[in-house]
């Protein structure tokens, strides 16, 4: 993705990739649910909001932040993605007024301390001295929050299958992305890409549309339907590990402080999930209730 952004702007590329992925989602939906019932207005508005967060907010903020961050953009973005599980708790706290346990708050702070180690390389004073240097990282974190909201959105539309939720939110979110992109291109804030620039991005477009877009998003929503959003976002812990490994193989060895920060973030997420599961089991044993570990950690049930 970093290579693609050297040839084309974030906004146009996002519209192109999800136009392709969206068409494929629609074909799958027509095959699996040919007699689907239309959504009411309230459900459509919810789907539009969640789709806009996922396919305009997340895509624009993360990839623009990655572009601004330069050569280390992909590595930085991978660490920001690992904060999603704990951002989900914060989202749940604010929206559903479910106050987290003290240990959850502790691990949230610990996780973000790891993130700060990565983006500052241990120089915390630079946050105060040169705050303007961390604009890309802030964009990426906000983008990650948008994806948390999109993921949680499926629980607000429980009657929709993963395929239908994916298709509808992609179409509506793409609509928002196209309007925003048209405004930026029309006002010359972002230059209109040339035909040659578009051609240069075709290999990246194929991967980002078919693998990361079509397969990735659909598998993500199906998995979260089964595991619940909180358990699903835990798989984002794999992203920094993969990114660090690939970075090292390609000769861009991360700083030791960055590796330590990533380890702290991942450790805090694993510990947080472990304590939540233990708390859930304890409550279930007290109340003599059967426990299904794959579903009991749904963030709407953790008080």
What secondary structure does DSSP assign to the chain, as a single string? -TTGGGTS-HHHHHHHHHHHHHHHHHHHHHHH-TTPPPPPHHHHHHHHHHHHIIIIIIHHHHHHHHHHHGGGHHHHHHHHHTTHHHHHHHHHHHHS--PPPHHHHHHHHHHHHHHHHHHHTT-TTHHHH-GGGGHHHHHHHHHHHHHHHHHHHGGGSTTS-HHHHHHHHHHHHHHHHHHHHHHHHHTTSSPPPPHHHHHHTHHHHHIIIIIIIIIHHHHHHHHHHHH-HHHHHGGGGHHHHHHHHHHHHTT-PPPHHHHHHHHHHHHHHHHHHHHHHHHHHHHHHHHT----HHHHT-TTT--
Q: Please answer whether residues 240 and 74 qualify as being in contact, where contact means their C-beta atoms are separated by less than 8 angstroms.
A: no
pLDDT for residue 163: 95
- Kindly report, residue by residue over 166-208, the tens digit of the pLDDT: 999 999 999 999 999 999 999 989 899 988 988 888 999 999 9
Name the phi and psi angles at 123, rounded to 5. Answer: -95, 80
If phi > 0 it is left, if psi is from -120 to 50 it is alpha, else beta; for residue 208 that is: alpha
Number of domains the chain contains: 1
pLDDT for residue 297: 42
Confidence of residue 128 (pLDDT cuts 50, 70, 90): low
Q: Is 76 inside a domain boundary?
A: yes
Residues 6 or more apart in contact with residue 202 via CB below 8 angstroms: none
Residue 293 has pLDDT above 50, yes or no: no
Give the position of tokens 């951002």. Answer: 87
pLDDT for residue 57: 94
Backbone CA torsion sign across 53, 54, 59, 64: positive
Mean pLDDT calculated for residue range 107-126: 78
Length of the chain: 303
pLDDT for residue 88: 81
Q: Is 204 inside a domain boundary?
A: yes
Cα distance between residue 146 and residue 14, in whole Å: 15
Structure-derived torsion over alpha carbons of residues 293, 298, 299, 302, reported in degrees to the nearest 10: -50
pLDDT for residue 135: 80
Q: Is 14 inside a domain boundary?
A: yes
Q: Is 303 inside a domain boundary?
A: no
User: In this structure, what token pair is assigned to residue 156?
Assistant: 């607000």
pLDDT for residue 104: 77
Residue 291 has pLDDT above 60, yes or no: no
- Most confident range, picked from 96-100, 151-155, 263-267: 151-155
Q: Is 109 inside a domain boundary?
A: no
**Among candidate residues 189, 195, 149, 187, the one with its CA nearest the CA of residue 169:** 149
Q: Is 232 inside a domain boundary?
A: no
Residues 6 or more apart in contact with residue 122 via CB below 8 angstroms: 257
Q: Is 140 inside a domain boundary?
A: yes
Q: What is the pTM of this model?
A: 0.79
pLDDT for residue 288: 61
Backbone CA torsion sign across 287, 289, 293, 299: negative
Residue 298 has pLDDT above 60, yes or no: no
Mean pLDDT calculated for residue range 223-247: 71
Q: Is 169 inside a domain boundary?
A: yes
Domain hosting residue 55, numbered range: 10-98+131-227
**Among candidate residues 157, 168, 141, 8, the one with its CA nearest the CA of residue 76:** 141
């Amino acid at each position: 993705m970093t290579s693609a952004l050297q040839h084309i702007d974030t906004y146009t590329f996002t519209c192109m990739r999800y136009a392709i992925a969206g068409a494929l989602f629609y074909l799958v939906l027509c095959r699996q649910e040919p007699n689907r019932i239309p959504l009411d207005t309230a459900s459509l508005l919810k789907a539009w909001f969640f789709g806009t967060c996922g396919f305009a907010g997340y895509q624009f903020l993360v990839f623009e932040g990655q572009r601004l961050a330069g050569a280390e953009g992909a590595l930085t973005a991978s660490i920001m993605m690992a904060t999603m599980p704990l951002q989900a708790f914060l989202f749940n706290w604010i929206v559903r007024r479910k106050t987290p346990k003290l240990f959850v708050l502790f691990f949230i702070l610990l996780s973000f301390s790891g993130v700060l180690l990565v983006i500052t390389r241990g120089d915390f004073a630079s946050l105060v001295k040169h705050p303007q240097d961390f604009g890309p990282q802030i964009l990426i974190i906000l983008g990650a929050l948008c994806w948390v909201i999109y993921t949680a959105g499926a629980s607000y539309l429980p009657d929709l299958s993963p395929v239908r939720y994916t298709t509808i939110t992609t179409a509506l979110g793409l609509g928002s992305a196209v309007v925003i992109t048209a405004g930026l291109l029309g006002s010359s804030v972002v230059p209109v890409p040339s035909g040659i620039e578009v051609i240069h991005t075709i290999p990246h477009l194929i991967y980002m549309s078919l693998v990361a877009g079509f397969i990735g998003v659909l598998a993500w929503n199906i998995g979260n339907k089964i595991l619940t959003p909180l358990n699903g976002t835990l798989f984002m812990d794999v992203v920094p590990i993969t990114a660090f490994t690939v970075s090292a193989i390609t000769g861009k060895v991360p700083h030791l402080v960055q590796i330590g920060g990533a380890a702290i973030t991942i450790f805090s997420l694993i510990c947080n999930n472990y304590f939540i599961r233990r708390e859930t089991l304890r409550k279930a044993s007290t109340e003599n209730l059967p426990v299904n570990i794959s579903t009991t950690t749904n963030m709407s049930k953790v008080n």
